[in-house]
């Protein structure tokens, strides 16, 4: 009898987050203060983050214990199921085995709530009762809205304008949990007003929305802190519950992945599924292939340089060593709003640079085609972001069909597409355009990368 769903006993749920920093094969580049271009310290970050998260960001410890109150809330939906995609394997006529970790079953419908609950908790215990944040497609804003409601906190969300218009029911869901939502750039912040004046017809970007959310936190005098849904080390760390569970689930059926795949915007869901397996590659010498999948419209890892850059358009954040398209980069308004970010997590960038991971860029039409094949086989309609991981996994499975290799493929289904039906409408009606980033637009974005004298 086929085993479609591989569950994990809740008693075996991981009670630590894995920190990849101590295991990196080469020294990690420090985060720099934008004024002095010297490594930042805890005091530099305290206006926007609580000390508990700052300590995690810089921690040399390989594991961080998950607080009991966060574990209690994780148990509302974790462990999430691992599924063997038997029907998809048959449709592709591949000898490969395909598994996916289903993060779409969480309260927010995506992986994002894994860090939202942790960030809300660490802010709450330090007396912070209000959080500001950005969101692209709305998955992160939804997750933080739920987390803030659970911890009785206020939540202000700046949503990238094109997604605000494309996905109105994301806004409705956030508001249902008590959050306040504004399309970004907005008139509510000084940086938002400046951006609207400089780019009057802009569809917005995550970099712009981050600037607005950071300004709100900085100007609050400590009553509001900023919360980020991806990119930073502590965010990626919180997501490693995904990969740790997946390892235990695959061990229970005597399997281990040859290929691990995740869509990649800021990098948190890819890091979450991949980092626990990266640990094995670095310490045991395993030859696992890690593939970060990004859109051709925003090809950060595949076409951007490895350089220090701001995490936001308004230049309010510290400088982070990453692959970047430039903090002024304006991504086209593709439907995978969560992948429209100019930079990427520094830890993911570091591992790509060191050759531990690699990246591919895909057009959105093939991704939606793959997504519908997956939906018809597995009964789950994925988010446009997850569609990129699915498409790459199917590409790898087809390669196995052609070569005769029976590889084991694991990907992260990072969220469902129930609020993305306008995107599916566009695809099914033939109105979805494939967007390859033009060289002129790329160069314009790259011009904004600052000159940095890196510490020796």
Q: What is the pLDDT of residue 248?
A: 98
What is the SS3 assignment for 76?
coil
pLDDT at 316 over 90: no
pLDDT at 337 over 70: no
Shared-domain flag, residues 140 and 285: no
Give the percent of the chain with pLDDT over 70.
Answer: 99
Q: Quote the CA–CA distance of 417 and 81 in Å, as a whole number.
A: 18
Q: Is residue 28 part of a domain?
A: no
Shared-domain flag, residues 354 and 241: yes
Q: Is residue 407 part of a domain?
A: yes
Q: What is the pLDDT of residues 231-287, one digit of tens each?
A: 999 999 999 999 999 999 999 999 999 999 999 999 999 999 999 999 999 999 999
Computed on alpha carbons and rounded to an integer, the radius of gyration of the chain in Å comes to 20
Q: Quote the CA–CA distance of 46 and 226 in Å, as a whole number.
A: 10
Domain ranges, residue 202: 43-66+112-230
Q: Quote the CA–CA distance of 173 and 146 in Å, as a whole number.
A: 9
List Cα–Cα distances, 368 to 100, 393, 428, in angstroms.
17, 13, 9
Q: Quote the CA–CA distance of 123 and 226 in Å, as a whole number.
A: 10
In what side-by-side order are the strands of the sheet with 289-295? 5-6, 82-84, 97-102, 408-413, 259-263, 289-295, 358-362
CB 119 within 8 A of CB 53: yes
Shared-domain flag, residues 200 and 95: no
Q: What is the pLDDT of residue 207?
A: 84
Shared-domain flag, residues 173 and 250: no
Shared-domain flag, residues 204 and 332: no
Shared-domain flag, residues 153 and 179: yes
Angle at 125 between CA 121 and CA 126, to 5 degrees: 120
Boundary (domain end) residue, out of 205, 230, 255: 230
Q: What is the pLDDT of residue 262?
A: 98
pLDDT at 456 over 70: no
Q: Quote the CA–CA distance of 159 and 278 in Å, as a whole number.
A: 33
pLDDT at 13 over 80: yes
Q: What is the pLDDT of residue 306?
A: 97
Boundary (domain end) residue, out of 213, 230, 247: 230
pLDDT at 338 over 90: no
CB 127 within 8 A of CB 438: no
pLDDT at 415 over 70: yes
Q: What is the pLDDT of residues 343-363, one digit of tens each?
A: 999 999 999 999 999 999 999
* Other residues' Cβ atoms within 10 Å of the Cβ of residue 152: 10
Q: Quote the CA–CA distance of 136 and 264 in Å, as a whole number.
A: 13
Q: What is the pLDDT of residue 398?
A: 98
Q: Is the dihedral of CA 157, 297, 196, 207 positive or negative?
A: positive
Please give the mean pLDDT across all residues of the chain: 94
Q: Cis ω on the peptide bond leading into residue 185 (within 30° of 0)?
A: yes
Name the nearest CA neighbour of 455 among 37, 66, 83, 48: 37
Q: Return all residues near 405 (Cβ < 8 A) that are at least 6 apart.
A: 95, 96, 399
pLDDT at 139 over 80: yes
Lowest mean pLDDT among 46-50, 77-81, 95-99: 46-50
Angle at 109 between CA 365 and CA 230, to 5 degrees: 80
Shared-domain flag, residues 148 and 216: yes
Q: Is residue 18 part of a domain?
A: no
- Report which DSSP code applies to 382: B
pLDDT at 336 over 80: no
Q: What is the pLDDT of residues 215-240, one digit of tens each?
A: 999 999 889 999 999 899 999 999 99
Shared-domain flag, residues 175 and 130: yes
Residue 313: pLDDT band (50, 70, 90) is confident
Q: Where are the beta strands (DSSP E) in 370-438?
A: 408-413
What is the SS3 assignment for 418?
coil
Q: Return all residues near 115 (Cβ < 8 A) that are at least 6 apart.
A: 143, 229, 234, 235, 238, 239, 268
pLDDT at 380 over 90: yes
244: left (phi over 0), alpha (psi -120 to 50) or beta: alpha
Question: Helix 364-378 and helix 421-428: axis angle, to 10°?
Answer: 110
What is the SS3 assignment for 182?
strand
Q: Is residue 161 part of a domain?
A: yes
Q: Is residue 34 part of a domain?
A: no
* Other residues' Cβ atoms within 10 Å of the Cβ of residue 49: 25
CB 278 within 8 A of CB 20: yes
Q: What is the pLDDT of residues 166-213, one digit of tens each?
A: 888 899 999 999 999 999 999 999 999 999 999 888 888 888 898 999
Residue 154: pLDDT band (50, 70, 90) is very high
Shared-domain flag, residues 177 and 298: no
pTM attached to this predicted model: 0.94
State the residue for tokens 């009898």.
1
Domain count, the chain: 2
Q: Is residue 438 part of a domain?
A: yes
pLDDT, average across residues 408-412: 98
Task: Give the H or E element holding residue 261.
Answer: strand 259-263
State the residue for tokens 């086929």.
2
Boundary (domain end) residue, out of 230, 250, 282: 230
Q: Is residue 11 part of a domain?
A: no
Shared-domain flag, residues 276 and 352: yes
Q: Is residue 453 part of a domain?
A: no
Which CATH number is 391's domain given? 3.40.50.1100
List Cα–Cα distances, 404 to 95, 258, 408, in angstroms.
7, 15, 13
């Amino acid at each position: 009898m086929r085993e479609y769903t591989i569950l994990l006993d809740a008693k075996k749920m991981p009670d630590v987050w894995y920190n990849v920093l101590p295991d990196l094969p080469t020294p990690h580049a420090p985060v720099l203060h934008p004024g002095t271009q010297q490594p930042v310290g805890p005091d530099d970050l305290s206006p926007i983050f609580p000390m508990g998260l700052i300590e995690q960001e810089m921690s040399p410890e390989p594991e961080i214990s998950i607080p009991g109150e966060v574990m209690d809330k994780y148990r509302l939906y974790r462990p999430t199921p691992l599924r063997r995609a038997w029907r998809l394997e048959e449709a592709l006529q591949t000898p490969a085995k395909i598994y996916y970790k289903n993060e779409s079953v969480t309260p927010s419908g995506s992986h994002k709530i894994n860090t939202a609950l942790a960030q809300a908790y660490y802010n709450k215990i330090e007396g912070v009762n209000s959080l500001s944040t950005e969101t692209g497609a709305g998955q992160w804003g939804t997750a933080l809205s739920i987390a803030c409601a659970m911890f009785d906190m206020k939540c202000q969300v700046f949503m990238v304008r094109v997604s605000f218009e494309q996905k109105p029911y994301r806004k409705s869901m956030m508001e249902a949990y008590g959050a306040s939502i504004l399309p970004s750039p907005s008139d509510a912040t000084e940086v938002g007003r400046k951006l609207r004046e400089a780019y009057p017809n802009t569809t917005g970007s995550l970099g712009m929305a981050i600037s607005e959310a950071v300004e709100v936190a900085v100007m609050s005098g400590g009553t509001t802190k900023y919360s980020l849904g991806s990119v930073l080390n502590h965010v990626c760390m919180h997501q490693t519950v995904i990969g740790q569970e997946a390892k235990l689930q695959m061990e229970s059926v005597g399997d281990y992945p040859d290929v691990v795949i995740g869509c990649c915007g800021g990098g948190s869901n890819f890091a979450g599924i991949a980092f626990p397996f990266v640990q094995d590659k670095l310490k045991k010498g395993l030859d696992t292939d890690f593939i970060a999948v990004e859109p051709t419209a925003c090809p950060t890892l595949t076409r951007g340089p490895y350089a220090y850059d701001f995490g936001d358009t308004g230049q309010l954040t510290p400088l982070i060593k990453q692959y970047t398209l430039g903090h002024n980069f304006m991504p086209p308004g593709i439907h995978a709003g969560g992948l429209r970010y100019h930079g990427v997590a520094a830890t993911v960038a570091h591992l790509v640079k060191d050759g531990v991971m690699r990246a591919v860029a895909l057009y959105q039409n093939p991704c939606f085609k793959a997504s519908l094949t997956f939906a018809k086989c597995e009964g789950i309609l994925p988010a446009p972001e997850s569609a990129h991981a699915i498409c790459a996994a199917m590409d790898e499975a087809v390669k196995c069909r052609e070569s005769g290799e029976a590889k084991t493929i694991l990907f992260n289904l990072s969220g469902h597409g129930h609020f993305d039906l306008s995107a599916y409408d566009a695809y099914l009606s033939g109105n979805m355009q494939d967007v390859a980033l033009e060289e002129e637009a790329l160069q314009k974005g790259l011009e904004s990368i600052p000159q940095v004298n890196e510490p020796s």
